[in-house]
Amino acid sequence: MSLAFDKVPLQLTVNGKPCAVEVEPRTLLVELIREQLNLTGTHVGCDTTYCGACTVLLNGRNVKSCTVLAVQADGSDVRTVEGLATEGKLHPVQEAYAANHGLQCGFCTPGLLMSTVRLLEKHPKPSDQQIRKAIAGNTCRCTGYQNILKAIRAAAAAGK
């Protein structure tokens, strides 16, 4: 048997930069991000689309990149945690998580940040119920969520 597959060329924008890559058809978006683009801030926690550690924004929507094929992202805009801070300045959502202790081990944090960014883009002043639902697909085993909720409220309050 052969273990090699023909590669597929892709064009996508990653964190604002155009990027041309070749992947095997079976390559997952998260594998492309972590292994080929070396953006290791996006983590793999469960392999089964539950934990959300691999959440990235695909054309502005939060998706679990462990369950998206890289080829599905062809022509798309991909935003990862590395794309949040600009010129060394943290994104307000990053600031809020750090200041409110909205993280402990930090493994789930990049995924949560991306879901939070998406939430606040959609609902700049979210209700508590909207916050809880927006991150229900991102599990955190450390915090009991209390400070994550606090961080999101703080980020929403800080945004104008």
Q: Which positions touch other proteins (CB under 8 A)? A: 1, 3, 34, 38-51, 53, 80-82, 84-85, 90, 94, 97-101, 103-110, 113, 131-133, 135-137, 139-149
**What are the residues whose beta carbons fall under 8 Å from the beta carbon of 139, sequence distance 6 or more?**
45, 50, 51, 52, 108
Nearer to other proteins, 50 or 71 (CB): 50
**Which residues are bridge partners to 11 per DSSP?**
20
d(C-alpha 37, C-alpha 19), whole Å: 9
Nearer to other proteins, 76 or 83 (CB): 83
Q: How far is the CB of 160 from other proteins (least distance, A)?
A: 21
H helices present in 6-145, as ranges: 29-31, 92-99, 109-122, 128-134
Q: How far is the CB of 30 from other proteins (least distance, A)?
A: 12
Q: How far is the CB of 147 from other proteins (least distance, A)?
A: 6
Nearer to other proteins, 75 or 141 (CB): 141
Nearer to other proteins, 76 or 109 (CB): 109
d(C-alpha 118, C-alpha 105), whole Å: 22
Q: How far is the CB of 99 from other proteins (least distance, A)?
A: 6
Extract the tokens encoding 19: 């990027």
